[in-house]
Homo-oligomer: A and B are copies of this chain.
Amino acid sequence: MWQLYQFPLCPFSRKLRLLMGEKNISYELVRENPWEERDEFWALNPAGRTPVLHDPEKNLTLCDSRAICEYLEETVERSPMINGTAAGRAEIRRLTALMDENFYGDVTAPLLHERMKKRLVLKQSPDSRVLRDAMRLVHGHLDYLDWLIDNRAWLAGPTMSLADLAAAAQISVVDYLGGIDWRDHQQTKRWYAVFKSRPSFRPLLGEKMVGIHPPEHYAKVDA
């Protein structure tokens, strides 16, 4: 059975869990806090990052969430998530990268640093200027998602794809950390509500990161 090295608020691990949920691939969770820089973990992944997907029986170790998603897409036929024409697939991968890199860099990473790492690891208080910047930048990203959803059934086109999973993963972490003001983003809010009710999403919404409390609405499917 696959072992997934992750921690509950890692957005890249969440994207992978959503994909494995949709594809009905079973796995067990192994808790890994990458900031502890465990030697055994660095031996598995020289990048020192979560997620890592490991199959001890097959002696197979996969690193980097996008590389892992491509692998699962190539090896498990059910619920294809990088699908369609070559141009359509490029659009799915472009938006996945936009969420993994730009949204993560502008919003998720600073929030994780200020509201998770500072509380749990560094024992410092958050920098309100950094938080304010991240919460300003999130609006531009959500405006763009609103616009996509106004023009397409799903983010990258007519069917649900890895781009939707990548976006839902980042947004769910930011929402857990109280970083999203949903009032001005009705389209994304509706799209996200549909997501929250999917069986692949439910297990994630039930998990807590000890010491950090999500807002009331976080796990509610209709909020």
Instruction: Identify the A interface with B (CB < 8 A).
Output: 46-47, 60, 62-64, 66-68, 70-71, 74-75, 86-87, 89-90, 93-94, 96-98, 101-102, 144
Contact = CB atoms under 8 A, between A and B. Distances in A.
A67 B144 contact: no
Contacts of A93: 64, 66-67, 70-71
B144 A64 contact: no
A71 B89 contact: yes
Interchain residue pairs A-B with the least CB separation, the first 5 = A67-B93, A64-B97, A71-B90, A74-B86, A63-B94
A66 B97 contact: yes
A20 to B, nearest CB: 15
Given A46-B98, A71-B89, 10 more contacts: A47-B98, A47-B101, A62-B87, A64-B93, A67-B90, A67-B93, A68-B90, A70-B89, A74-B86, A75-B86
A102 B144 contact: no
Given A46-B144, A98-B46, A101-B47, A86 B71 contact: yes
Contacts of A144: 46
A60 B87 contact: yes
A37 to B, nearest CB: 13
Given A86-B74, A90-B71, A98 B66 contact: no
A53 B7 CA distance: 36
